[in-house]
Amino acid sequence: MTLRLTRARVALATAATLLAVGAPTAYATLGEETPAAPTPVRGAAYAETRLLFGTARPEGRPAVTERQFMAFVDKEVTPDFPDGLTVQSGRGQWRDAGGTIVKERSYELILLYPAGEAAARDRKVEEIRRDYEKAFGQESVGRVDDQVRVDF
């Protein structure tokens, strides 16, 4: 009987030792995910500026038309950004200085330019915003800036 207990104890001790040695490895790999393949980096460093133009005008005046907006882009934007731009039509809303929520047709203008030119282009972008506000009686023109990589 002692022989049986000894064999059982040896088998149990061996199993416990194997589990103790293998457990950290098993637990270490449980939560690990396979690393994703790195995304290739393409293109050059660019600045992206998006301008958000509303079309509703104060005092019940008619909204800015598409023709008026595109004429503004041709005259005020294209000369400073002749390499290209994108205009998207949309619907937007915002709260004006008086607290009223205004829902209106809007335009998003997307400009891309080399990151090294960001300081010089900033002045031109601010002129575009001021010119639109003045020309069409707008309280503001929204601006969003981001750093991106661009490849043409």
Cβ proximity of 66 and 55 under 8 Å? no
Predicted local distance difference test score (pLDDT) of residue 18: 47
Q: What letter would DSSP give residue 59? A: G
Cα of 129 vs its chain's centroid, Å:
21
Per-residue pLDDT tens over the stretch 79-88: 999 999 999 9
- Regions of the chain short of the pLDDT cut 50: 5, 15, 18
Predicted local distance difference test score (pLDDT) of residue 142: 96
For the chain, strand residue ranges (E) read 44-54, 86-95, 101-114, 142-150
